[in-house]
Structure 1
Amino acid sequence: MDVYQERDNFGTLGATVEEAKKRCEAVMDAVEALHLSLSCKRTLLRLIQSELSFLSRFSSTDFTPNSEPSICVNIGHLEAVVHILKHPNISGVPRVCKTILVPPSTQSGIHSTTSKGAHVDIVCTFDGSPVWFIVSDRNPKYVSWYGQQESSKKKGLRARVQLLLEVAHYSVTLKPTSLIFFFSNGLDGFTRQKFHSEFGAIDLGSKFSNFDFNFSEELGGEWIDILARSYHHASVLEIKVDSPRDVNPHVPKESLVAYSSVKASDVNLGGSFNTLLSQMISPYNGKLDGILINFDTTALIAIVSGISNGNTEKLLATPEDELKTRFKGNYEFVIGQVMSEIRNPIHMDIAKSISGRKAIICESVSSEFKELVSMCGGSNEKLRAGELLKHVVVVPDSPSTRMTSLPTTRKLAMKNKIVFGTGDHWHAPTLTANMGFVRAVLQTGMSLFTFEHRPRALTGD
């Protein structure tokens, strides 16, 4: 919970309590609509319910018209957390409103306060990078930079920032590239200046100024706002945890060698395939600038599959016995993909994820893809594979430290850690149908930037 609670003042104490109750109920509805894991939703709903239970202890008989509104409520903090979770650039949220503990193996020699960990409101991926959000809904005049140094319970904001940086530094799988502080009611000039001068903070306010948070309910067949809140005065500050990555922005030209020897004039690639490739930024001899996207093997297969490229009618017209012989135990799986493609062509969905991005694949994916296409692909699929590889850059297997620090298990196989970890290293989302691995990573508490696509199989087209 936010350690900086704001003293609400909506007139009488009774009005304050009733207004806060409405806000709790509205935020609960907003949480249910969020695309979050069940554990994250449960955490938020539990905190909101706790606040609502606290408010429900008061009755109208407790107040008089002249009551001084002196009750402290925390719903503003939870509103702000939900507001941030609705941001379109946030994904891969494994934890909300939790204390991040320092791994026992790293606690030797660190301060006792650091070893206890630090509260973080949101662990997620933001703009492709793992970050921690710390949220405050406190009135700026009650925010103290230095606090009361002699009191361990009343340390200022400066001490809290230092603690968070220490915990972030000692974290491994959960380590963020930056801490983002969201002050929903803004900051005074002195505190803002201290953020800049002592921690090199940069202002992110422009990335949060274009969307507001409001709650609505239906009355008489029409939706009306019952509680609307603007965050135009919010202060959003980012502090980098470490220096920027030192990576080589160039990849050897030999990585761009086309795989297929089939001439483009020999086979029709298909309109949607060509349109999809046109959405991707050219590799420019391997220079990795601009916005990246990482493909795993499932994504490459989905792009070149005959199912995705106009072969659905031919497959459905093939006798069932012949298809069962060809696909064996995967018959039902393939037919399901055919029906999915008829309802919703996959190239259109993938185009939304890759448009304006430069595609990368790691060496492991390149090898696996070539092998699968060679064994199972038809002439059209092989040609598409060759053309697709001309539009991607092959980078070395370079999984991030965060990913390699995860234990290798059946669900967290090393093969997948290399593929997704390479995307994480380049701060690029991984386009994948392997959501089992994604869920396993999120269950560890680590955020991961991914785009999901529906699976497709090679058909021998």
Structure 2
Amino acid sequence: MKEERVNGEQLELAKKRCRNVIESVSSISTNKITPSSQRTLLKLARSELAFLSRSSFSLHTLRSVNIGHIEAVVHILQQPFVTGVSRVCKSISVSSISGQKTADVVYVDIVCTLNRNPVWIIVSDRNPKYISWNESHSSKGLKFRIEKLLAVARSSVALKPSSVILFFSNGLSGVIYEKLREEFGAAEFGLEFTVFDCDFSEDLEQDWVNVLARTYREASVLEIRVNPTKDDGVSNLDCAEDTLLLEAAEQQQGFTKDQMVRERDDSFLNLISRMTFLSSEAKNADSNTPRILLQECEYINFDTTPLIAVVSEISNGGCEKLLVTPEAELREKYKGNYEFVIGQVMSEIQNPIHVDLGSVISGKRGMICQSVCSEFKELVSMCGGPNEKFRADLLLRCLKVVADCPSERMMSLPTTRKLAMKNKIVFGTGDYWHAPTLTANMAFVRAISQTGMSLFTIGHRPRALTGD
């Protein structure tokens, strides 16, 4: 009787855990994971809850519960350094040269970006003593699964990870740990996951009581490099050598942040002064310059849209002038874009774009590819006014200009209307440099996420040139 009561309590606790996971997944921002990934997790958690709700309590039922695995996946997704999540709890297969899918299909818990690199994360919530290395009557063994996983990873192009992260939420035995280290070169993962999850509910007396808590203190997190012989900083040295400064170094001679801010004390200059500039050593470096610069600080890859937003008169105190200008005059000037411009003016009044961008670029090194540089200059030349042209000239002097060098995985995607070559070059160059791309082109970002590729991007609100 006592055993039945204990099992019944465990069953109710498992149901509460399911409800808690459903609530946690529902609260994850779609800026963090794609809507399809969110739906997948909700479906899994609801399926577990439905299974538990229609089952009578028994030892077999409790052993069949898989909520711990889903909890661990959600725990990882909630880590602040996990970005660009494109797939969750899905199988990945590799297409052969003939276009037919091979028999190699692997299950990956999370496809995302960690430390600016694309990774696959595999989660295990098993008791360490039940994790077998070789094939047994109930399992093909961890060794087989890792071999197959790495084979698919190395054969992938668009979804190819730089490494595979193994998250054992309940830890690993010393024997299995040594096997992973010796046979696959696994090493302790460099970033620290939080070790404790705690959720609260309110009792009838309005006092907060802890009803659900889980520790990941025993978790073991290992990393296996997919191609360990390749350079970790830049994926192709020959291409990296071609991305030396094309013009920024000459433009920056004698140009310092202090001098710039003294020239004109406004939000534009304060904004770009927050970026990190090239050191004199990096500016005069030899063919290893890309490595030096990447080690010196993190990069932000600018699409054309944030450059426009930074220099736009709307973002630089021009809102009041536009609002007092007669509507007829503005409609004549902006034609069919009148509502668009006024909408941006109201957005700027409520949320100044320089404030938002300042938190993104502070302490980072700005970079643009040659295509963006050319497009930005052309747009400013055609549509910018004298103030906007002045700002554009100063902004370009603060940015590292690199050659168009899109990553192999980006170029492996088919070129379509939604995946235009122009955008593949811009975002692919950022991907090659392991730098997040700052952009207002969310249509392209959504199109990329639909392919399953994890891409590190940062969105911003758009601004237009006003001709002032």
Q: Give yes or no for TM over 0.5.
A: yes
Any idea what SS the aligned residue of 1:192 has? helix
What's the counterpart of residue 255 of structure 2?
none
Aligned partners of 1:453 and 1:33: how far apart in 2?
Answer: 22
What's the counterpart of residue 383 of structure 1?
390
Shift in Å at residue 255 of structure 1? Answer: 4.0
Shift in Å at residue 138 of structure 1? Answer: 0.6
Q: 4+ residue runs of structure 1 moved beyond 4 angstroms?
A: 67-70, 218-224, 267-270
What's the counterpart of residue 325 of structure 2?
318
What's the counterpart of residue 47 of structure 1?
44
Any idea what SS the aligned residue of 2:97 has? helix
Shift in Å at residue 331 of structure 1? Answer: 0.9
2:147 to 162, 166, 170: 162
Aligned partners of 1:172 and 1:200: how far apart in 2?
Answer: 22
Cα RMSD, aligned residues only = 2.5
2:247 equivalent to 1:254: yes
Decide whether aligned partners of structure 1 residues 43 and 227 sit closer, same or farther in structure 2, where only a CA change above 3 A counts: same
1:420 to 402, 419, 427: 427
Any idea what SS the aligned residue of 1:176 has? coil
Aligned partners of 1:394 and 1:11: how far apart in 2?
Answer: 68
Aligned partners of 2:426 and 2:207: how far apart in 1?
Answer: 49
CA contact (8 A) 2:271 2:358 kept: yes
Decide whether aligned partners of structure 1 residues 320 and 257 sit closer, same or farther in structure 2, where only a CA change above 3 A counts: farther
CA contact (8 A) 2:52 2:61 kept: no
CA contact (8 A) 2:88 2:110 kept: yes
Any idea what SS the aligned residue of 1:52 has? helix
Aligned partners of 2:208 and 2:433: how far apart in 1?
Answer: 44
Structure 1 unmatched runs, 5+: 1-8
CA contact (8 A) 1:16 1:69 kept: no
Aligned partners of 1:129 and 1:40: how far apart in 2?
Answer: 20
Decide whether aligned partners of structure 1 residues 93 and 69 sit closer, same or farther in structure 2, where only a CA change above 3 A counts: closer
Aligned partners of 1:166 and 1:106: how far apart in 2?
Answer: 18
Aligned partners of 1:88 and 1:322: how far apart in 2?
Answer: 47
Q: Structure 2 matches for 1:172-191, cutoff 5 A? A: 172-191=157-176
What's the counterpart of residue 216 of structure 1?
200
Shift in Å at residue 125 of structure 1? Answer: 1.2
Decide whether aligned partners of structure 1 residues 223 and 304 sit closer, same or farther in structure 2, where only a CA change above 3 A counts: farther
Shift in Å at residue 161 of structure 1? Answer: 0.7
Any idea what SS the aligned residue of 1:101 has? strand
1:119 to 88, 107, 111: 107
What's the counterpart of residue 286 of structure 2?
none
Aligned partners of 1:94 and 1:77: how far apart in 2?
Answer: 19
Decide whether aligned partners of structure 1 residues 316 and 205 sit closer, same or farther in structure 2, where only a CA change above 3 A counts: same
Decide whether aligned partners of structure 1 residues 228 and 180 sit closer, same or farther in structure 2, where only a CA change above 3 A counts: same
Q: Structure 2 matches for 1:227-246, cutoff 5 A? A: 227-242=212-227, 243=230, 244=232, 245-246=235-236
What's the counterpart of residue 156 of structure 2?
171
What's the counterpart of residue 410 of structure 1?
417
Shift in Å at residue 186 of structure 1? Answer: 0.8
Shift in Å at residue 100 of structure 1? Answer: 0.3
Decide whether aligned partners of structure 1 residues 18 and 444 sit closer, same or farther in structure 2, where only a CA change above 3 A counts: same
Matching residue's letter, 2:88: V
What's the counterpart of residue 97 of structure 1?
89
Aligned partners of 2:266 and 2:245: how far apart in 1?
Answer: 31
1:274 to 240, 253, 269: 269
Matching residue's letter, 1:124: C
Shift in Å at residue 215 of structure 1? Answer: 2.5
Any idea what SS the aligned residue of 1:71 has? helix
What's the counterpart of residue 3 of structure 1?
none
Shift in Å at residue 211 of structure 1? Answer: 5.7
Aligned partners of 1:301 and 1:10: how far apart in 2?
Answer: 67
2:334 equivalent to 1:345: no
Decide whether aligned partners of structure 1 residues 387 and 13 sit closer, same or farther in structure 2, where only a CA change above 3 A counts: same
CA contact (8 A) 1:13 1:68 kept: no
Which is further off, 21-30 or 387-396? 387-396
What's the counterpart of residue 6 of structure 2?
12
Decide whether aligned partners of structure 1 residues 159 and 277 sit closer, same or farther in structure 2, where only a CA change above 3 A counts: same
What's the counterpart of residue 16 of structure 2?
22
Which is further off, 22-31 or 340-349? 340-349
Structure 2 unmatched runs, 5+: 253-258, 284-288
What's the counterpart of residue 131 of structure 1?
119
CA contact (8 A) 2:248 2:396 kept: no
Matching residue's letter, 1:279: R
